Amino acid sequence: MRTTRQLSLGGVKIGGGAPVSIQSMTNTDTNDAEATLAQIRELAAAGCQIVRCAVPTIRTLDAFERICAESPLPVVADVHFDHRIAVGALERGAACVRVNPGNLRGEAEAREVARTAARLGKPVRVGVNGGSLNREIAARLGKTAQAMVESAEYYIRIFEEEGCRALKVSLKSSDLRITLEACRMFAARSDIPLHIGLTEAGPVSSGIVKSSVAIGTLLLDGIGETIRVSLTAPPVEEIYAAQRILEAVGLRQASPEIISCPTCGRTHGDMLSLVAQVEREVRRIQSSGKRIALRKIAVMGCEVNGPGEASDADVGIACSAHGGILFKHGEKVATLEKAELLSAMIRELEDATLR
Amino acid sequence: MRTTRQLSLGGVKIGGGAPVSIQSMTNTDTNDAEATLAQIRELAAAGCQIVRCAVPTIRTLDAFERICAESPLPVVADVHFDHRIAVGALERGAACVRVNPGNLRGEAEAREVARTAARLGKPVRVGVNGGSLNREIAARLGKTAQAMVESAEYYIRIFEEEGCRALKVSLKSSDLRITLEACRMFAARSDIPLHIGLTEAGPVSSGIVKSSVAIGTLLLDGIGETIRVSLTAPPVEEIYAAQRILEAVGLRQASPEIISCPTCGRTHGDMLSLVAQVEREVRRIQSSGKRIALRKIAVMGCEVNGPGEASDADVGIACSAHGGILFKHGEKVATLEKAELLSAMIRELEDATLR
């Protein structure tokens, strides 16, 4: 894990050893404060920690101000082209603004945003992507990772010269390898926290795969202080995907990890529905606000993959030809009828439940 | 990319610079040859290149022999515990057997499998996972990556001593970090191709994320010659997920990559359905056996993310407040009515279509 400076985004700590936080972005019309707030509440309930809203025009600031005042989450204003919107958003309640300085009118405008953020003690996300490189740097280096990093450093200098040091940086390309290279290069050269994710990740099925590869690879390298999974899907799907990525790399344990064998010709019983039922029970218990104090649970289709391969599960069930077994840490603790498997697992889940 | 020895698995080359191949496993009862063959044909149509079938008992070998004879794909026999099943499978048509030598009765039995494979000129997959470590090594090193690698090397020596050098190795733990560490350690020490994947990847939603992170991270490191995504789901889902992972890391281009912006408050038009329609058209054209000679196409929700951020797309459409534009390589080539956007994209797809 690299050492990063810490900033506070409306109370959510980013960098400096804070847990990796999860962001999303509303896709309602920001002018419709009611609809946007409803979506933010839904995102918060799903586990989102920071939310971003597009503020496309000065006129949108009225609704945006109300959203900031009533939002249960800190709100980041997403601003392009017009620095006056960024300044206005900061003055009217944004916890942070995201600008791509490369698409503001010029350097003077970027400096004005920086001075406003510094005066109000609010952080700024400096975004660099394929579409907003510094022009001179892009001309010299092309659309490369090096150009992205040098563009970011160029803009960081401007912000820091104006006294704005609470910065996070995003480096995003729709090319996964360039994104990875840019983030690694930047991480090796700077202590500024990185916001990671892929931009324009495409349809949800391939978007989840691309984001998992990109974000997962960086997190495993210790890079990334806050993440957003971009999906062309309802925003709450982004939160679920982000949580799964953090769980996959071992950075978060929202719920017991469920391991199950891929079904094969040895499988006894209807594994797919058994796994789905166990998953549903875990969610049911957790949605009542309880926590299940188990690290791993297993649902296995046969004795081959049962206690042996899932010996690191706290509790597991494995089907056999005529029934099944309950096992704990690799040891069989009970032989069961087929019809008892699910209820035995539910009993174990509830026994391990804490308020 | 590390240099690996090449083996031929029923005609599919693995290692030695061959493209990364995609595998799956049937989840029908192997005794039901008809159902298993139907599933293999479905897997082949989806792009699967190698299929594995569980052969749990000697009696299953009759059906297995018929499956091998009629399968459109090379068939790997998945055998546990009883080496006679592995020997029989090789003699009766398996293109390869997978054994975890650690769960065979003993070393003599592993040697018999090795001699049979060598005599028939067929490859063997040597599997090592949390459940089948060499006992002495596990006692010394625990359930660590080092123990997995040393177990693999111990068994490889046995197979090579019997003249069986056409080997691939899998090192799988349900712990993602241990899997990555073991594969990297093995890759640095051996020229034997690696079969990569996670075992017991769990429910489909989190399984895809975990597999994408694990397999994607290794492939980006140049590790992995053949892959299987294990999902508790219909096997063809494993093929789709595997293809998306190979596409994400740039190792395969099955179809034009569709990039689309995550929707936000600036989005004009119904992006989600537009992206889905474009995806459907791409599939429709390709399912007729044609290839679309485009690398990237874009569907963008507004002028901010349109031609600029998607300037590396060969063709794109971007919505605006009252209609939209068609762009190529970042340059606007036409202004369109809203209703014309999809048809303009379809025309571009068809213009780029080859038989």
Q: Do B217 and A212 touch (CB under 8 A)?
A: no
Residues B99, B230, single domain; the answer is yes
Residues B130, B210, single domain; the answer is yes
Residues A148, A11, single domain; the answer is yes
pLDDT-flagged residues of chain A (< 70) = 1, 200-202, 253-254, 269, 287-289, 304-305, 354-355
DSSP letter assigned to residue B161: H
- Domain containing B338 — which CATH number? 3.30.413.10
Domain boundary among A216, A248, A280: A248
A172-210 tens-digit pLDDT: 887 889 999 999 999 999 999 999 998 765 678 888 999
Q: Do A206 and B258 touch (CB under 8 A)?
A: yes
Domain boundary among B193, B221, B248: B248
Torsion angles phi and psi, residue A122, rounded to 5: -115, 150
Mean pLDDT is highest, among A201-210, B190-199, B321-330, for B190-199
Helical axes B235-248 vs B33-46, angle rounded to 10° = 20
Residues B294, B187, single domain; the answer is no
What is the value of pTM for the model shown?
0.81
Has residue A330 been placed in a domain? yes
Please, where are the H alpha helices in A71-163? 83-91, 107-120, 135-141, 145-161
Has residue A177 been placed in a domain? yes
Closest alpha carbon within chain B to A241:
B209
Contact B229, B245 (CB under 8 A): yes
Residues B11, B136, single domain; the answer is yes
Has residue A1 been placed in a domain? no
Residues B68, B192, single domain; the answer is yes
Q: Which of A27-41, A270-284, B100-114, B325-339 has the lowest mean pLDDT?
A: A270-284
- Domain containing A243 — which CATH number? 3.20.20.20
Interface test with B, best of A30, A200, A304 (most B CBs within 10 A): A200
Task: Give residue B13's pLDDT.
Answer: 97
CA–CA min distance A304, chain B (Å): 8
Has residue A2 been placed in a domain? no
Q: Do B265 and A131 touch (CB under 8 A)?
A: no
B258-307 tens-digit pLDDT: 888 877 777 776 778 888 889 888 877 776 667 788 888 999 887 766 77
Residue type, B216: G
Averaged confidence pLDDT in chain A: 91
Residues A188, A330, single domain; the answer is no
Q: Do A200 and B298 touch (CB under 8 A)?
A: yes
B54-63 tens-digit pLDDT: 999 999 999 9
Residues in chain A: 355
Averaged confidence pLDDT in chain B: 91
Residues A180, A33, single domain; the answer is yes
Burial class (CB in 10 A: 0-12, 13-18, 19+), B321: exposed
Predicted ipTM of the assembly? 0.79
In what helix (H) or strand (E) does residue B177 lie, and over which residues does it extend? helix B176-189
* C-alpha closest to that of B92 among B53, B71, B112, B62: B62
Residues A205, A180, single domain; the answer is yes
Task: Give residue A321's pLDDT.
Answer: 81
Interface test with B, best of A170, A259, A302 (most B CBs within 10 A): A259
Residues B13, B115, single domain; the answer is yes
- For A23-44, letters b (16+ CB in 10 Å) and e give bbbbbbbbbebeebbebbbebb
- Domain residue limits at B284: 257-354
Task: Give residue A202's pLDDT.
Answer: 65
Task: Give residue A129's pLDDT.
Answer: 87
Interface test with B, best of A212, A228, A270, A331 (most B CBs within 10 A): A212
Task: Give residue B302's pLDDT.
Answer: 79
Q: Do A279 and B208 touch (CB under 8 A)?
A: no
Q: Report the percent of chain B where pLDDT is more than 70.
A: 95
Q: Do A262 and B54 touch (CB under 8 A)?
A: no
* C-alpha closest to that of A241 among A23, A86, A10, A11: A23
Residues A15, A75, single domain; the answer is yes
Region at A121 (left for phi over 0; alpha for psi -120 to 50; beta for the rest): left
**Closest in A78, A129, A309 to B129, CB measured:** A309
DSSP letter assigned to residue A261: P
Domain boundary among A248, A272, A294: A248
B20-42 tens-digit pLDDT: 999 999 999 999 999 999 999 99
Task: Give residue B167's pLDDT.
Answer: 98
- CB-based contacts of A9: which residues, under 8 Å, 6+ apart? A50, A74, A76, A95, A96, A123, A168
pLDDT for residue B93 is more than 90: yes
* C-alpha closest to that of B195 among B23, B1, B10, B8: B23
pLDDT for residue B201 is more than 70: no
Count of C-beta atoms within a 10 Å radius of residue B93: 20
Q: Which residue has the higher pLDDT, B280 or B126?
A: B126
Q: Tally the domains of chain B.
A: 2
**Closest in B60, B217, B230 to A220, CB measured:** B217
Contact A129, A153 (CB under 8 A): no
Contact B327, B318 (CB under 8 A): yes
Has residue B2 been placed in a domain? no
Residues A242, A267, single domain; the answer is no
